[in-house]
């Protein structure tokens, strides 16, 4: 399980994405065993460091 971020893929290979981690959300599988989570593939990997804070749940 992880947090999800939705975005639209741009066909331009030089396109730069700005990712707002504040828009990340938990998938349904985080709340119920009735849903299964996707298993990441080897291609789902970023070869860069992502420095982000931790979301505080109230």
Q: Domain for residue 4, yes or no?
A: yes
pLDDT exceeding 70 applies to what percent of the chain?
A: 91
Q: Domain for residue 2, yes or no?
A: yes
Q: Supply the range of the domain harboring residue 46.
A: 1-51
SS3 assignment, position 23: helix
Q: In this structure, are residues 55 and 23 in contact, taking their beta carbons and an 8 Å threshold? A: no
- Answer whether 0.75 is exceeded by the pTM: no
Residues in the chain: 58
The residue assigned the tokens 């931790």 is 54
Count of domains observed in the chain: 1
Q: In this structure, are residues 2 and 23 in contact, taking their beta carbons and an 8 Å threshold? A: no
Task: Report pLDDT digits (tens) over 33-55.
Answer: 899 888 888 888 778 887 777 76
Q: Domain for residue 12, yes or no?
A: yes
Q: What is the pLDDT of residue 23?
A: 85
Q: Domain for residue 18, yes or no?
A: yes
Task: Report pLDDT digits (tens) over 4-31.
Answer: 888 888 899 899 988 888 888 888 888 8
Q: Domain for residue 45, yes or no?
A: yes
Q: Domain for residue 57, yes or no?
A: no
Token readout for 51 is 């420095």
Q: Domain for residue 58, yes or no?
A: no
Q: What is the pLDDT of residue 34?
A: 92
């Amino acid at each position: 399980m992880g947090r999800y971020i939705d975005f639209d893929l741009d066909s331009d290979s030089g396109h730069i994405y700005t990712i707002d981690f504040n828009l990340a959300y938990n998938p349904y599988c985080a709340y119920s065993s009735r849903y299964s989570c996707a298993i990441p593939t080897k291609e789902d990997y970023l070869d860069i460091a992502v420095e982000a804070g931790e979301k505080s749940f109230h």
